[in-house]
Amino acid sequence: MSSRRATIADVAREAGVSASTASVVFSGKTPVSDATRRKVLDAASSLGYTGPDPLAASLRRGRSGIVGVVFQDHLGRVFLDPVVTHMMDGLADAVAPLGAGLLLLRDDPAAEASSEPSITTAPIDAAVLIGCSPRLRDQLDILAARGIPVVVIEGDAGPGVARIDLDNREAQREVAQHLRRLGHTDVVSLTLPADARRTAGWIRDDEDIVTDVTRIRLAGARDVFPEAKAFAATASSIDEGFAAGRAILAAGTPTAVIAQSDLLAAGMIRAAEEAGLRVPEDLSVTGFDGVTVDGLAPYELTTMAQPATDKGRAAGEAVAARMEGRDAASFRFTCTFRGGNTTAAPREPQASPHDAGNMSATARR
Amino acid sequence: MSSRRATIADVAREAGVSASTASVVFSGKTPVSDATRRKVLDAASSLGYTGPDPLAASLRRGRSGIVGVVFQDHLGRVFLDPVVTHMMDGLADAVAPLGAGLLLLRDDPAAEASSEPSITTAPIDAAVLIGCSPRLRDQLDILAARGIPVVVIEGDAGPGVARIDLDNREAQREVAQHLRRLGHTDVVSLTLPADARRTAGWIRDDEDIVTDVTRIRLAGARDVFPEAKAFAATASSIDEGFAAGRAILAAGTPTAVIAQSDLLAAGMIRAAEEAGLRVPEDLSVTGFDGVTVDGLAPYELTTMAQPATDKGRAAGEAVAARMEGRDAASFRFTCTFRGGNTTAAPREPQASPHDAGNMSATARR
DNA sequence: TTGTAAGCGTTATCAA
DNA sequence: TTGATAACGCTTACAA
């Protein structure tokens, strides 16, 4: 009835063996005689000893068996994004046989200051960075300094860092070409967040975009529509897509909107409906990701489907390689075009941008 | 250029101060003169020291700053369940200000054997158990023995354990009453897994059900339809609902199926369609959870919506209380009825169960 | 098969 | 404001 939790030393003493022997009984790393094992186990249960303290064991071993997953967004919001969900699925799969758990971390500068586990303080053996945070470089530096192997999903990791990527530019270009083939010329891009502060608004200079995915997908769109305007949303969600969609339509009605995510596209469609525009007759909308967006029926987005689960799995395998001291190969996945019912030929050829009148001006509230 | 990572002792030596002083510079727990601080910080950066090793610090402090989230299912699958997703959302929210990270754990007996972090070995300060695993009691014992505070979501935790619950029985009863009001008498329950092995099949004796949620929801259905048969699925998914649905229809066609989750309900509907039955004309189907099921359109389930996010948040708050030594209050949330288009009056009054012929017998392959 | 010894890198306590 | 000391609880060469 001591106030203090039993330790392996207590167990060893009770069993009449040495601490190392007791340790070995629990780890199983060395043969132990049955008699000894029984003595130790009996002593353990009589003392209420539940096995080695993981903290102490980790310290001694030098590894925690934990893989950090770093998101750029508020943790809560992250799970609501189907792409992330599928990636986690693949990641968990690939990391499990490794004997590692997943620790959810977020890239929040404010978190560094608090006591919250962050990239600087979490007891992780490896890290998977998801998304292309502007702070990515800092994070990589921190992790490199800590000697923690890293795999980056969708971000410019610099040389020597394993990355899991998508053919974002080619994929976005493909959708854009699809629109051009349909006859569109007056097109607007609705992009993912573009700057660190995630301000919404028209993008003045593509070079200002610090977020890789945003810039690269936009470049893909520009390969086909060099002059198209681009409006940055504050996040990839239906609501933000809706807000951005209103803003876009307030400035004029293009014949097509290239959204950088399916969720944004869904929001765009809602904004179009609100403005009295029919999709795809009055406005074509394309998405990106290939996730099923809840409640979007009867629309089926024309979009680029990305292998989200595979990306996660690849990241897990890369982490495994790194933790075993092997080199992790970078990998680039390919999106596939998926035609839906949200794109069609524009109603009439457009002589010049935005001369189709602004139907939305009256309809929006 | 030593091969070994610098420690705080190295930094202290380099700075010409004691280790404890150097430690204090990093923790900030004790005032340090500016001069000393600078010396230490300079020494640290010149040695590439990135701050205290979290493992060592944790060992010394006796806490890891990590909250374990224990799922009963395969981790990958877990994220695909919208209810869980929303719960995680709330949980992450509530736990963040606490300064704790979330470690994903799964309740897999096989995992115990492997090196994978599990409930017995993970370095966690508290645990949230999600779902009503048959092993719940064991887990609680293990955690109790380890002295780790616990909060249980949806499970019979026994006295003294904080629980976050739903009014499962009342909620399920409400849906059942809705069906009875429509005129249904020939009803089958399609339940969540009922036993530890998760075998699919007809439930012979409700007392055999070891899974709380399953038993309690079924009891709610039985309050209205005492004689209804019940078929247990092996998991809450559309696919399992589909398989169970086939099996149910193979045994006869009821006028309504009470599914214990929306996903199961969705699978049931697909099985009904496959058998040439129209929903709701030939078969009414009710769900549970109130999540939006992808691809179910144009159906909108008649279901009980549960406040999943709030449940997660409440759990996080309970964990916070526990970690601070306070008592955590249990909390019970209420579901709300949501009518959809998957229920209607039965086509004709049923004289006795299953005499409506077995249309499915021919249709199923 | 078991025991000895030497840390793993910190931080809390207390005294100076 | 700083320093000496003593844990924190475990694991693993290595020797017996």
Confidence of residue B3 (pLDDT cuts 50, 70, 90): low
Beta carbons within 10 angstroms of residue B229's beta carbon: 18
Token duo for residue B76: 């990958």
Predicted confidence (pLDDT) per residue in B315-342, tens digit: 999 998 888 878 888 999 999 999 999 9
Token duo for residue A262: 């399916």
Beta-carbon separation of B123 and A54 below 8 A = yes
Separation CA A136–CA A155 (nearest Å): 8
A80 and A219 both lie in a single domain: no
Beta-carbon separation of A79 and B85 below 8 A = yes
Partners of B27 in beta bridges: none
B205 and B158 both lie in a single domain: no
Q: What is the mean pLDDT of residues A128-140?
A: 80
What's the burial of A188, exposed, middle or buried (CB within 10 Å: 0-12/13-18/19+)?
buried
Residue A66 has pLDDT above 60, yes or no: yes
B291 and B280 both lie in a single domain: yes
CA nearest neighbour of B282 among B346, B361, B360 = B346
Choose from A248-257, A315-324, B8-17 the range with maximum mean pLDDT.
A248-257
What is residue B362's predicted lDDT score, i.e. its pLDDT?
35
Q: What is the mean pLDDT of residues A143-152?
A: 91
Return the SS3 of B308: helix
A260 and A188 both lie in a single domain: yes
Instruction: Look up the CATH number of the domain holding residue A40.
Output: 1.10.260.40
Sorted by sequence, the CB contacts under 8 Å of residue A45 that are 6+ apart come out as none
CA nearest neighbour of A315 among A16, A30, A111, A68 = A68
Return the SS3 of A169: helix
A92 and A123 both lie in a single domain: yes
DSSP B63: -
Is the omega angle on the peptide bond into residue B149 within 30 degrees of 0, that is, cis? no
Average pLDDT over chain A, rounded to whole?
87
B285 and B318 both lie in a single domain: no
Measured in residues, chain A has a length of 365
Beta-carbon separation of A92 and B76 below 8 A = yes
Confidence of residue A95 (pLDDT cuts 50, 70, 90): confident
What is residue A106's predicted lDDT score, i.e. its pLDDT?
78
Return the SS3 of B138: helix
Give the chain A residue whose CA is nearest to the CA of B105. A101
Residue B122 located in a structural domain:
yes
Residue A112 has pLDDT above 70, yes or no: no
A214 and A343 both lie in a single domain: yes
What's the burial of A147, exposed, middle or buried (CB within 10 Å: 0-12/13-18/19+)?
exposed
Q: At what angle do helices A19-27 and A8-15 cross, to 10 degrees?
A: 110
Residue B298 located in a structural domain:
yes
B299 and B313 both lie in a single domain: no
Residue A105 located in a structural domain:
yes
A125 to chain B, minimum CA–CA distance in Å? 11
Cβ within 7 A of any strand D atom: A 4-5, 7-9, 19-20, 23-24, 26-27, 29, 51-53, 56-57, 59-61; B 16-21, 24, 30-33, 35-37, 56, 59-60, 62
A142 and A197 both lie in a single domain: no
Tokens 């719960």 belong to which residue? B87
Task: Report the nearest residue to nucleotide D2, CA vs C1'.
Answer: B21
Residue A3 has pLDDT above 90, yes or no: no
What's the burial of A85, exposed, middle or buried (CB within 10 Å: 0-12/13-18/19+)?
buried
Separation CA A114–CA A40 (nearest Å): 42
Residue A129 located in a structural domain:
yes
A68 and A194 both lie in a single domain: no
Can you give the residue range of the structural domain that contains B323? 62-166+308-334
Residue A39 has pLDDT above 70, yes or no: yes
Residue B185 located in a structural domain:
yes
Predicted confidence (pLDDT) per residue in B238-288, tens digit: 889 999 999 999 999 999 999 999 999 999 999 999 999 999 999 999 999
Number of independent structural domains in chain A: 3
Beta-strand runs (E) in A72-133: 101-106, 126-130
Residue B194 located in a structural domain:
yes
What is residue A325's predicted lDDT score, i.e. its pLDDT?
79
Q: What is the mean pLDDT of residues B3-28?
A: 90
Which residue of B55, B142, B148, B324 to mutate against A (max A Cβ within 10 Å)?
A: B55
B353 and B244 both lie in a single domain: yes
B203 and B265 both lie in a single domain: yes
Beta-carbon separation of B51 and A295 below 8 A = no
B103, B124 contact by CB (below 8 A): yes
* pTM score, whole prediction: 0.84
What is residue A323's predicted lDDT score, i.e. its pLDDT?
84
Residue A25 has pLDDT above 80, yes or no: yes
Residue A264 located in a structural domain:
yes
Confidence of residue B349 (pLDDT cuts 50, 70, 90): low
Instruction: Look up the CATH number of the domain holding residue A281.
Output: 3.40.50.2300
Residue B57 located in a structural domain:
no
Separation CA B315–CA B150 (nearest Å): 10
- CA–C1' distance A158–C8 (Å)? 33
Average pLDDT over chain B, rounded to whole?
87
φ/ψ (deg, to 5) at B152 = -110, 130
